[in-house]
Amino acid sequence: MRTLRIWGVERGDLRSLAFAALIAAGGELAGLALLSTAAWLLLRAAEQPPIAALTVAIVAVRTLALLRGTLRYAERLAGHWVVLRYLGSLRTRVYESLVPHRNQAHGGDLLARAVSDVDAMQDAVLRCVLPALVAAGTGLVTVIVVAFASPVAALVLAAGLALAGIGLPMLSARITGAAARDRAPSHAELAAHTVELVRGADELAVFGARERALGNANRVADRLARQDKRSAARVSALGAAGMVLQFGTALAVCLLAADLAGPTIAALTLGTIGVFEVALPLTGAAARWAEASASLRRVHDLLTAPAPRPGPRQTPEELVRVVATGLGVRYPGREEHALSGLDLDLPYGKRIALVGPSGSGKSTVLHALLGLVEPSAGGVTVNGVALGAFAPEALAPVISGALADAHVFHTTVRENLLLAKPSATDAELRAACATAGLGDWPDGLPAGLGTVLGADGAAVSGGQRQRLVLARAMLANPQVLLLDEPVEGLEPATGDAVLRSVLAEARGTVVLATHRLAPLADERAFDEIVVLDNGKVIQRGSHRELVNVQGYYADRWRAEASLVSAAARR
Ligand SMILES: Nc1ncnc2c1ncn2[C@@H]1O[C@H](COP(=O)(O)OP(=O)(O)OP(=O)(O)O)[C@@H](O)[C@H]1O
């Protein structure tokens, strides 16, 4: 009962499914009766009895032929009606349970997978559950009818049907399940190769590596084809075993009923062959069920995932203090922690810079402060309330910023900016662009702010795209502004000037992840500099404190200063 509740199956759905199965079983039984009666009629007619002895059978054949067609049509209607009605309500429940995951980095993938998982359920009910119910009903009635003519033949028929309808499908499910598990890594590998071939087509062509990449993808595709062929051969062998079972049982029934009249033997034998036609497709249905079971498990997990605690929906009114305590992050599939044991205290207005070599965890800190990655240890609080307890829309005006991989939408410059502040006037949009170092760039575009950017901002340069993301962050004007290398790629002097104007416009707390140290030399600009390496804090303090202590920061500062003076000498 609990399982049915989880799946949202109502009593009405079960009744409709049973009704559809009943109609379908009726259709199959009508087909079997037609086959047997026709066989009986042919053989009896060969004995040339008076026509009156055949009248009932003749009428029965006509009636059964009509009944079979009508019931099959009704079964299609009833089966699809119940499944589509049930899936309608299931879809709503699945999408509702997806809502809390909408902020996940791969939320789009999650949605796409949920859509195909729910579709797989339709297949599972129509092509697995319904045929199994129909086969069980048809088999049972046939065995009972045969038992009236010959109880021993009925026993043999029951045993044959159990093997064909239960034994073979179980074997088939086991073979397909094992094959799907074996194939999963190859599937993932092929998908990764395909994505690289498509997304990296230009680079592969430029470096002459296309043939090699194609070869790698083809090797995986061949391996996958071999695995598919192996499991298909095994399932086909089961199909062949089913046919041997079908004709073996029919022969046994024929021999066991040998002392009955010829037409009855023919009716029983053909009926036996016919009822196997209902049971044998279950071998294929079980294989389908095994393939769909991963989808069913995922939908089940989604439906049973604990609902997130209802957090404050209101944006904190007062000025916020963000605190990270013992913050650790480990990405799925990674052994080592991307971040560990980070403590940050960010009262409103504090400005800190995160510095460190590439891969040291700077972006991970920003993602964790935005709640985009799940901490593996410790956590982040906003005014003492866990970050995860807030509804995302409540936090948006409080903490946001410009991330390195921020998306630029395939729409106009205006729409891209209005995302941050829907009520902004064109003058505000232009001001944000100017602060982000774009100057009067929008006015120089073919249609000004109305110019449509390509997919993921393909129609603008990388630097312009980055500054557009920065302008969007400035327009949002959050209490806590997170900036990930906001001016990387700009000529250093211009970049420093843009950063200065961004810091001057920012109203509250700022967390800046940066490689460039020159802007940090201004002691008034940053209260603290945190140096990360391998996800751990290795130094923290003001610029003056850090340059005087041996270590990454002092070394980098000297290297940067010598580059600057060399450039000045030139
Ligand atoms: N989505 C992810 N999945 C798995 N590992 C990740 C993911 N994002 C980052 N990492 C790993 O986490 C570590 C920290 O990465 P992060 O991007 O935070 O470093 P970073 O200091 O910002 O680097 P950079 O200066 O190059 O941007 C790296 O080892 C990186 O490979």
Task: Look up residue 289 and give its amino acid.
Answer: W
Please report whether residue 57 resides in a domain: yes
Q: Are residues 219 and 289 in the same domain?
A: yes
In the Cβ-directed half-sphere of 270, how many Cα atoms lie within 13 Å?
Answer: 19
Q: How far is the CA of 530 from the centre of ligand 1 (A)?
A: 17
Residues 396/316, Cβ–Cβ less than 8 Å:
no
- The last residue of a domain, from among 477, 509, 541: 477
Please report whether residue 313 resides in a domain: no
Please report whether residue 183 resides in a domain: yes
Please report whether residue 430 resides in a domain: yes
CA distances from 484 to 382, 426, 512 (A): 21, 26, 6
Q: Whose CA is nearest to atom 7 of ligand 1?
A: 331
CATH number, domain with residue 466: 3.40.50.300
Domains held by the chain: number: 3
Range of the domain at 432: 399-477
With the most atoms of ligand 1 within 8 angstroms of its CB, the residue from 106, 342, 355, 364 to mutate is: 364
CA distances from 395 to 211, 364, 370, 388, 503 (A): 48, 18, 9, 10, 21
- The last residue of a domain, from among 477, 510, 529: 477
Q: Are residues 433 and 518 in the same domain?
A: no
Give CA–CA dist 499/487, Å, rounded: 7
- Ramachandran angles phi, psi of 332, nearest 5°: -55, 140
Is the CB of residue 338 below 6 angstroms from any atom belonging to ligand 1?
Answer: yes
User: Tens of pLDDT along the chain (570 residues)?
Assistant: 666 666 667 777 788 888 889 999 999 999 999 999 998 898 888 888 888 888 888 999 999 999 999 998 998 888 888 888 888 888 888 877 776 655 444 445 566 677 778 888 888 888 888 899 999 999 999 999 999 988 999 999 999 999 999 999 999 999 988 888 888 888 888 888 888 888 888 888 888 888 898 999 999 999 999 998 998 898 889 999 999 999 999 999 999 988 888 888 989 999 999 999 999 999 989 988 887 887 888 888 877 776 555 555 555 667 889 999 999 999 888 888 999 999 999 999 999 999 999 999 999 999 999 988 889 999 999 988 888 888 777 888 889 999 887 888 888 889 889 888 888 899 999 999 999 988 888 888 888 888 888 776 677 788 888 889 999 999 998 999 999 998 887 888 888 889 999 999 998 999 999 988 988 988 888 999 999 999 999 999 999 999 888 888 898 888 887 766 665 555
Q: Are residues 227 and 366 in the same domain?
A: no
Tell if the pTM clears 0.90, that is, is over it: no
Q: How far is the CA of 332 from the centre of ligand 1 (A)?
A: 12
Is the CB of residue 363 below 6 angstroms from any atom belonging to ligand 1?
Answer: yes
With the most atoms of ligand 1 within 8 angstroms of its CB, the residue from 109, 358, 363 to mutate is: 363
Q: Are residues 168 and 286 in the same domain?
A: yes
CA 455 to chain centre: 22
Q: How far is the CA of 418 from the centre of ligand 1 (A)?
A: 29
Q: Are residues 282 and 413 in the same domain?
A: no
- Side by side, which strands form the sheet with 509-513? 399-402, 480-484, 509-513, 351-355, 528-533, 536-541
Task: Look up residue 222 and give its amino acid.
Answer: D
Look up the ipTM and state it: 0.96
Q: Are residues 144 and 292 in the same domain?
A: yes
Q: Are residues 86 and 113 in the same domain?
A: yes
Please report whether residue 310 resides in a domain: no
Nearest-atom number in ligand 1 for the CA of 336 is 29
Residues 535/338, Cβ–Cβ less than 8 Å:
yes
Q: Whose CA is nearest to atom 25 of ligand 1?
A: 358
With the most atoms of ligand 1 within 8 angstroms of its CB, the residue from 327, 329, 334, 336 to mutate is: 334
In the Cβ-directed half-sphere of 512, how many Cα atoms lie within 13 Å?
Answer: 28
Give CA–CA dist 433/442, Å, rounded: 8
Q: Whose CA is nearest to atom 4 of ligand 1?
A: 331
Helix axes 426-435, 492-505, angle to 10 degrees: 130
Q: How far is the CA of 112 from the centre of ligand 1 (A)?
A: 26
- The helix or strand, by DSSP H or E, that contains position 509, with its residue range, turns out to be strand 509-513
Residues 473/400, Cβ–Cβ less than 8 Å:
yes
Which tokens in the block code for residue 149?
A: 């003519």
- The last residue of a domain, from among 445, 460, 477: 477
